[in-house]
């Protein structure tokens, strides 16, 4: 799934802020992206809470 322009900008900013590689953040975003509800309602979305918790745990592991 290709990331939308807004998401790519946020990935770049998030990677810079957290001191991570853009490709690592992009992979995490892909991992935490959920599809449409019931397969047809709404748009795919990122579970930001789970994404942030995983990024925090990666930082703590360093």
Report the alpha-carbon angle 23-52-9, nearest 5: 45
Contact 43, 34 (CB under 8 A): no
Q: What is the pLDDT of residue 14?
A: 94
Contact 44, 1 (CB under 8 A): yes
Instruction: Pick 40 or 54 by higher pLDDT.
Output: 54
Q: What is the pLDDT of residue 42?
A: 84
What pTM was estimated for this model as a whole?
0.80
Instruction: Pick 20 or 8 by higher pLDDT.
Output: 20
């Amino acid at each position: 799934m290709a990331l939308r322009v807004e998401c790519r900008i946020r990935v770049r900013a998030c990677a810079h802020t957290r001191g991570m590689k853009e490709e690592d953040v992009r992979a995490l975003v892909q991992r935490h992206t959920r599809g449409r509800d019931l397969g047809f309602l709404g748009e795919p979305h990122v579970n930001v809470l789970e994404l942030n918790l995983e990024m925090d745990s990666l930082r703590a592991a360093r």
